[in-house]
Amino acid sequence: MKKSEWSDREIEELLMQMPKIQDHRDPRDIYQNLSLKKRKMKSWLLPGLAAAAAVLLFFILVPKLMNGSNFSYDQAQEEKSTMNKDMSLADNKIDSTIALDKDNASSTNREFSGTAKKAELMSTNSIKTALYEEEAGEGTVLTYWIPDPQAQILIPVSIVVTGMKDKSWLTLFNENMANLKEEDWGLSDFYPLKLKMKLAIKMKNNNSITVDVPKDHPYGQGSAMETSLINVLNKDISSNSKIKKIRFLTDGVPGIELGNYGKKNEIEIIREKNHAFFFYYPDSSNQPFITPSLDSYNNIKTALEAMKTDQPELGLKSSLGSTLPIHNVSIAGKTLYVTIKDNANLKNDQHTLSSYEALLLTAKDFGLEKVFIKNSSLTNIGPFDLSKENKVPRAPNLRTIQ
Amino acid sequence: MDSVFDELYQKYHHDVFQFLFYMVRNKEHAEDLVQEVYIRVFKSYHRFEGKSSEKTWLFSIARNVAIDFFRKQKGWKERLLEKFDWSTNQVMDEYPIPEEITVQKEEIKWVYKCLEFCTIDQRAVVILRYLQDLSIAETAQALGWTESKVKTTQHRSLKVLKKQMEMFYEKEEFISEKVGVER
């Protein structure tokens, strides 16, 4: 049947002759394979799920690994860092609680715009932290000493109460201690004191104060608490008044029971002086409290020398580092004359301003009234005019309580 | 064993298998695909409305399965492998010709080889019309086409086959002539 021309019919016939191809498998096998295949269809689901889980795990782990060295830090550290992050956002808020000029205190915005107008030299966010004579005006200045969260040091915080001229400082002190926002400031919650303080009016020269604690007062419960109480009372009273003695009462009965001191009827107020001032940074802020050292120094030179290094065991940071490198100081009358190192590169920024305030506060603690930098390359640090003598502050760390 | 499966197997298994075999020209693939047809049938058996006969319905499913198979064959994997595997390029048809065909006469073998040159549609029409003995109307139903489309496709496929058969014949002539000369 071989030929070169094929008709449709022939092709069709050939196609019809095509052999039947049989599936030799047993129908049972086919059916079994069917159910097997059904299962097989699902079997890709499992690796799929595994892959999805792996991808998920990957995304969970990668951000942690990215941190690398931070990985071993404990939870608290991590929390702290996130908190710092949060707080740096909230810093403006914290800064705004720092009162500026008395006149401008109502509006920080106005202060900012005002400084911007004044001079380009002034950095807009340089804020002085202490309270100065001209700002205190007619108001009553109250300084509260608040323990840090570790209860190692006491940090002075000052407020100004205005329009209460007829009330004594102690009345105002008692009234306002409930309004302190210690925890907002990054300090430990210590006020209001769970006791009553009264001026001993009966005493002729008015030089003692009675402190009446309730019977179940918390101050005898641990040495930290009672030391804090004695120190706080001592410092609160010494920095706000000229009173010389504290008389203790327990529920009206003379004497107080303290674990370490035994029974005490009265203590003398010790007026400590000649401290160096350091920076204390609360966890929540990069704005330092300028706070005095525990130790007293023989002269201002050794104090200023000490201020060049940190005191890590107390959590205090150097307040005179590279920002304000002091070469020499001399005293004439009530004025401190400071020479800066020749190669110093002074910057008009917040840190330098804080250093300068620490210098002013230290000078004040040594009984001086003015400070003058002889060879400053700057004309201003923040609001301070360096071309003239500057008065020492009235009180450190001004805060508002409204 | 499932009664539905049993029934379908008895009635149509060999026809469907035959159709799939001639479509993909490989026994193993046909065996896999016939399973796939059953799976699809079970999935959509409840949707079968009886508009067409069961047989044409099964063929239409089988045809879709075969088309999907060809699509998968031309998937990215295969295309990628093709690039690296030069041996497959050299051998066009690597599938072995099954025994049932090899025992047939020369012309049948030729026709089988020529079927390769038809398109999928053309092959489907040829198989349904001549191997399965379906009428034009049944074929149209199975493929979801109009009858005239079946007719033209059938005509074209015959033309392709004729042409290829002639080429085979010429080649054969040439070889036998050569053999003759050598003798």
What pLDDT does A166 receive?
74
Q: Is B113 on the interface with A (CB under 8 A)?
A: no
pLDDT tier at A100 (50, 70, 90 boundaries)? very low
Same domain flag for B86 and B17: yes
Which residue would you say has higher pLDDT here, B124 or A25? Answer: B124
- Nearest-Cα distance to chain B for A20, in Å, is 7
**Interhelix angle A27-43/A45-67, nearest 10 degrees:** 20
Task: Classify residue A266 by its DSSP letter.
Answer: E
Helices and strands of chain A, counted as H and E runs: 10, 17
> Do B44 and B65 form a contact (C-beta atoms < 8 A)?
no
**Interhelix angle B27-44/B3-24, nearest 10 degrees:** 140
| Closest by Cα among B150, B88, B112 to B26 | B112
pLDDT tier at A45 (50, 70, 90 boundaries)? confident
Here the CATH number for the domain that contains residue B136 is: 1.10.10.10
Question: Sign of the C-alpha dihedral, residues A393, A336, A389, A346?
Answer: negative
Which of B:119-138 have CB within 8 Å of A?
126, 130-131, 133
Give A-chain residues touching B1 at CB under 8 angstroms: 27-28, 31
**Chain B: residue nearest A38 by CA?**
B39
pLDDT in tens, A159-183: 888 877 777 788 888 888 888 888 7
3-state class (DSSP) for residue B63: helix
What pLDDT does B62 receive?
92
Nearest CB among A20, A28, A34 relative to B35 is that of A34
Same domain flag for B82 and B68: yes
* A204 pLDDT more than 60: no
Nearest CB among A2, A16, A18 relative to B169 is that of A2
Element (H, E) at A248: strand A245-250
What pLDDT does B155 receive?
92
Q: How many other CB atoms are found less than 10 A from the CB of residue A324?
A: 27
Q: What is the mean pLDDT of chain B?
A: 81
> Do B19 and B128 form a contact (C-beta atoms < 8 A)?
yes
* A102 pLDDT more than 50: no
Nearest CB among B17, B39, B103 relative to A23 is that of B17
Interface test with A, best of B108, B134, B139, B175 (most A CBs within 10 A): B108
- Nearest-Cα distance to chain B for A83, in Å, is 52
For residue A147, the number of C-alpha atoms closer than 13 Å in the C-beta half-sphere is 20
For residue A4, the number of C-alpha atoms closer than 13 Å in the C-beta half-sphere is 4
Which of A:34-73 have CB within 8 Å of B?
34, 37-38
Which residue would you say has higher pLDDT here, A301 or A260? Answer: A301
Cα(A340)–Cα(A61) distance, rounded to whole angstroms? 52
| Closest by Cα among A322, A400, A401, A364 to A104 | A400
Same domain flag for B20 and B60: yes
Cα(A333)–Cα(A330) distance, rounded to whole angstroms? 10
Instruction: Say yes or no for a CB contact (<8 Å) between A4 and B166.
Output: yes
* A1 pLDDT more than 70: no
Same domain flag for B55 and B67: yes
Q: What residue spans of chain B are helical by DSSP H? A: 3-24, 27-44, 54-73, 76-84, 86-90, 99-102, 106-115, 120-126, 136-143, 147-182
Interface ipTM: 0.77
Angle at B17 between CA B13 and CA B18, to 5 degrees: 120
Cβ-proximal residues to A77 (8 Å cutoff; 6+ apart), any chain:
A70
* B74 pLDDT more than 80: no
Report percent pLDDT > 90 for chain A: 3
Cα(A272)–Cα(A367) distance, rounded to whole angstroms? 12
> Do A371 and A336 form a contact (C-beta atoms < 8 A)?
yes
Q: Is B30 on the interface with A (CB under 8 A)?
A: yes
| Domain end (from B96, B114, B130) | B96
SS (H, E, C) A177-232: HHHCCCCCCCCCCCCCCCCEEEECCCCCCCCEEEEEECCCCHHHCCHHHHHHHHHH
pLDDT tier at B84 (50, 70, 90 boundaries)? low
Nearest CB among A2, A18, A38 relative to B131 is that of A18
Instruction: Say yes or no for a CB contact (<8 Å) between A6 and B165.
Output: yes
Same domain flag for B111 and B173: yes
pLDDT tier at A108 (50, 70, 90 boundaries)? very low
What pLDDT does A3 receive?
54
* A86 pLDDT more than 60: no
pLDDT tier at A93 (50, 70, 90 boundaries)? very low
Nearest CB among A6, A16, A33 relative to B130 is that of A16
Which residue would you say has higher pLDDT here, A284 or A144? Answer: A144
What pLDDT does A23 receive?
80
What pLDDT does A69 receive?
52
What pLDDT does A56 receive?
95
- Nearest-Cα distance to chain A for B105, in Å, is 10
Same domain flag for B126 and B150: yes
pLDDT in tens, A153-165: 888 888 888 877 7
Number of domains present in the structure of chain B: 2
Instruction: Say yes or no for a CB contact (<8 Å) between B169 and A4.
Output: yes
- Nearest-Cα distance to chain B for A54, in Å, is 24
What pLDDT does A287 receive?
80
Interface test with A, best of B102, B111, B117, B157 (most A CBs within 10 A): B111
pLDDT in tens, B110-155: 888 888 888 889 999 999 998 888 899 989 988 989 999 999 999 9
| Domain end (from B47, B67, B96) | B96
What pLDDT does A55 receive?
95
Q: What is the mean pLDDT of chain A?
A: 76
> Do B66 and B24 form a contact (C-beta atoms < 8 A)?
yes
- Nearest-Cα distance to chain A for B86, in Å, is 31
Token look-up 């003398």 returns A268
Q: Which two tokens stand for residue A311?
A: 């005191």
**Chain B: residue nearest A8 by CA?**
B158
Give B-chain residues touching A23 at CB under 8 angstroms: 13-14, 17, 30-31, 34
Here the CATH number for the domain that contains residue B59 is: 1.10.1740.10
The least confident of A324-328, A387-391, B48-52, B61-65 is: B48-52
Instruction: Say yes or no for a CB contact (<8 Å) between A8 and B162.
Output: yes
Give A-chain residues touching B173 at CB under 8 angstroms: 4
pLDDT in tens, A50-82: 999 999 999 999 888 876 554 444 444 544 555
Same domain flag for B6 and B88: yes
Range(s) of the domain holding residue B148: 97-183
- Nearest-Cα distance to chain B for A10, in Å, is 9
Cα(A73)–Cα(A75) distance, rounded to whole angstroms? 7
> Do A128 and A382 form a contact (C-beta atoms < 8 A)?
yes
**Chain A: residue nearest B126 by CA?**
A15
| Closest by Cα among B43, B38, B32 to B72 | B32
Give B-chain residues touching A20 at CB under 8 angstroms: 14, 18, 100
3-state class (DSSP) for residue A245: strand
Same domain flag for B87 and B113: no
Give A-chain residues touching B42 at CB under 8 angstroms: 34
- Nearest-Cα distance to chain A for B154, in Å, is 10
| Closest by Cα among A321, A395, A331 to A128 | A395
**Chain B: residue nearest A39 by CA?**
B39
What pLDDT does B77 receive?
65
Give A-chain residues touching B33 at CB under 8 angstroms: none
